Structure 1
Amino acid sequence: MRAVTTSSSPSLPPPVADVDVVLPCLDEAAALPWVLGRIPAGWRALVVDNGSTDGSADIARAHGASVVHEARRGFGAACHAGLAAATAGIVCFCDCDASLDPGLLVPFVREVLDGDADLVLGRRRPQGRGAWPAHARAGNLALTRMLRRRTGLRLHDLGPLRAARREALLGLSLDDRRSGYPLQMVVRAADAGWRVTEHEVPYRPRVGSSKVTGTWRGTWQAVRDMSRVLHEPPPVRADGA
C-alpha cells in the first residue's frame, strides 16, 4: 500500500496568495462571520449558496466573500460550482459551519506549492462533546476502510478540509453531485497516481444543524452515495494493464 503522511498541523507560516477557498453553504448565516473572518489574507472566499433562506448570501457578501449561486441541491453540486467558478492556481475546500478553521489550510497549500503533495486532506480530531457524532464517525471509518481496499491509500478520514491545484482537480472530471463528491475526488486522484497526504486538524461542534450527517438517516444516505463511488472501475491504462 502507498504510504500517506499523517501529522499534526504545524504553526502557521505567513499565508500565500493566489488561492480560492470554496465554501459550500446551505443556511449557515450564524457561522459565516466566524469562518470568513479566518480566511487567510490575500485569499478569496467563494461561498456557494445552495438554496439558503436565512440570508447567508447577503452575510457572505457583507464579509467580503464572492458568492456563487448553485440551484441544484447537493453537497457535490455546491462544491463543483465553486471549483468551476474558481480562478486561482490553488483551490481549497472547507465547510462553512464553523467546525473547521480555514486558516489551517495554509500549510496544506504550501505542501502543494512545494511539490510534496498533489492533494492534502485534513484528518479531523474532535474537540469537545458533540463535535463528531458516533454515527457519522462510524460511517467515515467504514468508508476509509473500503477506500483502502479500493485504492491502497492509508487514509483515516474523508474530511472536507482539503487543497489541490485547480487545473488538476478539473482534470479529474468529477461528476458526483451528491455526498459522494469528496470521496470521488480522492478515488480519482488515487487512480491518477496523485500523492495524497493528510494532517490532523481540530474539529469543533458545528454551529446550527447538520444537513448531511446530523442524523443516522443522513449518514446512511451519505454512505450509500459514497459506496456507489467506490464501485467505479479503475481507468484502463493505455498499455492495457
Structure 2
Amino acid sequence: MHNPPIIDVIIPAYNEEKSIPKVIGDVPAIVRNIVVANNNSTDTTGKVAEAAGAKVVFEPQKGYGKACLTAMDWIKKQEIQPDIVVFLDGDYSDYPEDLLDLIQPILDQKADMVIGSRALGERESGSMTFPQVFGNWLATTMMKYMQGAKFSDLGPFRAIIWSKLLDLNMIDQNFGWTIEMQIKAHKAGLRYTEVPVNYRKRIGVSKVSGTVKGVFGAGYKIIYTIFKYW
C-alpha cells in the first residue's frame, strides 16, 4: 500500500443532477479520483459532475452493476492503481464524510472489505422504505444460514482493497452487484467487517424503492444471486 494510501471513489449515477454536486463536494480531500459513471442519464448529471471536479465516464447500458464495472475499467487504465476503492451512491442519502471511518479498518490492516451498515447507524425517518428494510433483513439472514456470511446490510457505501476487488471477478450488471460482492468476498476468505454509517432521505425519487417494478426486480435478483452462489 502506498504511503499515503491512494483512494478512488466510484459513484454510479442515473439522473442525479441535483444531488451529485453535493455528494462530490462532501467527499474527503484524501481521495484521489472521484469517478462518476453516468448511466445513460437524460439530465445534466454528467456535466454537473464534471464541473464539480469528478472524472466522468459514460455507460449507455442501464444497470447499477454495469455502471460500476465501467468505472472500474477506467481505473484499470490509470498508470498508478489505487490501494482502496470506495463505492458511494449519487443520491446524497449517504454521508460521504463517513468515508474516513469506512476505510479505517483497512488502513489498520484488520479488513480487506468494509461495509457501511445503515442497520448499525442512524437512519433519518423515512430514508428507507419498509421493502428496503425487510429486504435487507431477509437477504442477510439467508446469507447467514445458507452461506455463513455475517452481514447486517447490503448497503452500497463500501470500501475494498482494489486488488482484492479485481480478484472477485465481479460480473453482475444490475441489482445483484452489492450482494455478489459480499458473497464472493466471504467465499474467497476475505477479511470483512462493518462500520455504522448514517443515512438520510435521498434527493429525488429512488430508481429501486421508488417504483413497484424496481422493488420486485431488486428483490428477485438479490434472492436469485444468493441461490446462484450457494
Q: Report deviation, 1:139.
A: 1.2
Q: Which residue of 2 aligns with 1:107?
A: 101
Q: Which runs of 5+ in 2 are unaligned?
A: 76-80
1:52 aligns with 2:48: no
**C-alpha distance in structure 2 between counterparts of 1:55 and 1:229, whole Å:** 33
C-alpha contact (below 8 Å) 2:9/2:87 kept by paired residues: yes
For residue 83 of structure 1, report the CA deviation from its aligned partner: 2.1
**Structure-2 residue corresponding to 1:118:** 112
Structure 1 runs (4+) deviating above 6 angstroms are: none
* Percent of paired sites with the same residue: 35
| TM norm structure 1 | 0.86
Partner Cα distance (1:233, 1:25) in 2: 27
Superposed CA RMSD in Å reads 1.4
Shift of 1:220: 1.6
User: Structure 2: how far apart are the matches of 1:155 and 1:67?
Assistant: 31
- Asked if 1 retains the 8 angstrom alpha-carbon contact of 2:13 and 2:90, the reply is yes
Gaps of 5+ in 1: 1-15, 235-241
Where 1:160 maps in the other structure, the secondary structure is coil
Contact 1:99 1:207 in 2 (8 A): yes
Residues of 1 paired with 2:101 and 2:125: CA distance?
Answer: 27
Tell me if structure 2 keeps the 8 A contact 1:136–1:214: no
Residues 185, 204 of structure 1: alpha-carbon distance in 2 compared, 3 angstrom cutoff: same
What TM-score does the superposition give when structure 2 sets the normalisation length?
0.90
Take 1:146 and 1:175, find their aligned partners in 2: how far apart are those partners? 21
**Higher mean C-alpha deviation, range 141-150 or range 107-116:** 107-116
Task: Say if 1:83 and 1:166, in contact at 8 Å, map to a contact too.
Answer: no
- Tell me the distance in 2 between the aligned counterparts of 1:157 and 1:83: 23
Q: Which amino acid aligns with 2:196?
A: E
In the alignment, the residues of structure 2 paired with residue 160 and residue 233 of structure 1 have an alpha-carbon distance, to the nearest angstrom, of: 20
Aligned residue pairs total 219
2:208 maps to 212
